Structure 1
Amino acid sequence: MSRKTSMTYKNEILEQYQRERGGEMSNYLFEPTRRQIKEACLWLLPRRKEKYDEGILNRFFKFKEGENKSYAIERMKGDKFKPIINFLKGETKSTTPANLELISWLIDFKPRPLSVYLNTEKYTKTETTRQKSMPMKQTYQIPTETEMVEIPDTKVIQKDDRSITIISQINPSLKITTIVSL
């Protein structure tokens, strides 16, 4: 496993793009044009809203306070997207961090942005693929009749039409409160 850097981030984004040709956005990104990238941004704007996505978009589009983001993207000149196209087509080897982050958002590369990517644990691509394709199974051991099972002391402490609050005392120093919405 190699150390994560801004270079590995760039390479992994480009590899994902080349492998998936835009993934969910392949209609727009398979053979990207300035107009298609703009349309992809407009289509994704209300749909892709993860924790850092707003910052990624603000960095690229430089939205003004209170500005209608869709309208601002529509007004954006197509030349702003040309470096992204050149990078995706391999005509240039590098691009600005803002362009790279927008590409990561467009193709739904995770983890994004770079700051989050650099702070994630190192893993191999086969581990990532395995985690996506094979859900982890949890196994539970059912005690036999001869094994004693300790059931915690549990009491309903509040109940109304919308919820039930239950408290369980696992041991003298540990109490767990559970609220169940109905």
Structure 2
Amino acid sequence: MTFEDYKRKILEHYSSIKNDSNHQLNRFCNNITPGKIKSASKIILETQNSKQDIHTLSSYFKIPINRDFLKFLDSVDADKLIPVKQFLNQITKEPREEVVEFSAWLLNFNPRPYSKFINNKGLIIDNPPKGRGGDDFPPEPKNPWKKIVITVSFISSFAVILYFVIDRQRKDCMIWSEDHYVVVECGKTNSPDIALNRNLLENFRKIKPDTTMTFFKDGKALFWYDKTVGIEFFTMPGTHPTNGKTLKPVSQTIVRKYIYGEE
């Protein structure tokens, strides 16, 4: 089961919702907009807020996991959710991993995240999200209480089983260790952890560059830096792993001054 399989299954799930007029997310998926994604996210967060789901939101929005996400979603610019719409509508062919995982959470695609999808050998768990009425979701049945009690009991039981049988055996997070990320169990270390990101895990490194290295290709920077404490160089763009600041691409000035020692 590759990450491409994971993306394909999520998109198939999205398509099946669009084609099922009785599905609770049908109206939302057939006319998806960043604004509706934002509105739906606030509703979904009230029922889909496991530790892994919070890590997914934290990774997507690049904010600490201890934030009040409901308040954050109230203030977030809906344009930040455009990548989700573009992925689901297959406009973006190579979406970021955080976009894919956020989409899986939004559609309540199971199993998620990708590590659990692999563990389950790609078998899909049918567990549609609950709606609350309004523009984003169809209304609930007139007498839903019995159904709600049964559904909540099932979801609670399933969540407990999933946690003890799978979550405790999986390593779905990572922490920064000196010059690279390492995989850890979520919440099991004293260091701040983030959701597992294969691209960062395999390719993001802090390096000590020297004059033998190539710093530009076709006029574009091949390395990025941060000058908060001295100067540090990294192999990928993004945010600094410990201070959260956005890394800057190296320039000719930076290379001449800090690599070649020119004044």
Does residue 17 (structure 1) correspond to residue 14 (structure 2)? The answer is yes
Inter-partner Cα distance in structure 2 for 1:97 and 1:32: 20
Deviation at 1:109, TM superposition (A): 0.7
Deviation at 1:10, TM superposition (A): 0.4
Inter-partner Cα distance in structure 2 for 1:79 and 1:91: 16
Deviation at 1:30, TM superposition (A): 2.1
Taking only the aligned residue pairs, the percentage that are identical comes to: 27
Which residue does 1:53 correspond to in 2? Answer: 53
Which residue does 2:62 correspond to in 1? Answer: 62
| Maintained 8 Å contact 2:55/2:65 | no
Residue identity matched to 1:114: Y
Deviation at 1:111, TM superposition (A): 0.6
Inter-partner Cα distance in structure 2 for 1:54 and 1:12: 22
**Count of paired positions:** 123
**What SS is found at the alignment partner of 1:41?**
helix
**Cα RMSD over matched residues?**
2.3
Structure 1 range deviating more: 15-24 or 4-13: 15-24
Inter-partner Cα distance in structure 2 for 1:71 and 1:56: 17
Which residue does 1:147 correspond to in 2? Answer: none
Gaps of 5+ in 1: 130-182
Inter-partner Cα distance in structure 2 for 1:67 and 1:56: 13
Q: After the TM superposition, which parts of structure 1 deviate over 4 Å for at least 4 consecutive aligned residues?
A: none
1:42-88 Cα deviation digits (max 9, x unpaired): 00111113452121111112333643211111221222111111122
| Maintained 8 Å contact 2:60/2:99 | yes
What TM-score do you get using the length of structure 2 for normalisation? Answer: 0.43
Structure 1 range deviating more: 87-96 or 11-20: 87-96
Which residue does 1:156 correspond to in 2? Answer: none
What TM-score do you get using the length of structure 1 for normalisation? Answer: 0.60
Q: 1:122 to 1:37 in 2, by over 3 A?
A: closer
Residue identity matched to 2:36: Q
Please show how residues 1-182 of structure 1 align to structure 2 within 5 Å: 4-21=1-18, 23-50=23-50, 52-64=52-64, 66-121=66-121, 123=123
Q: Which has the greater radius of gyration? A: 1
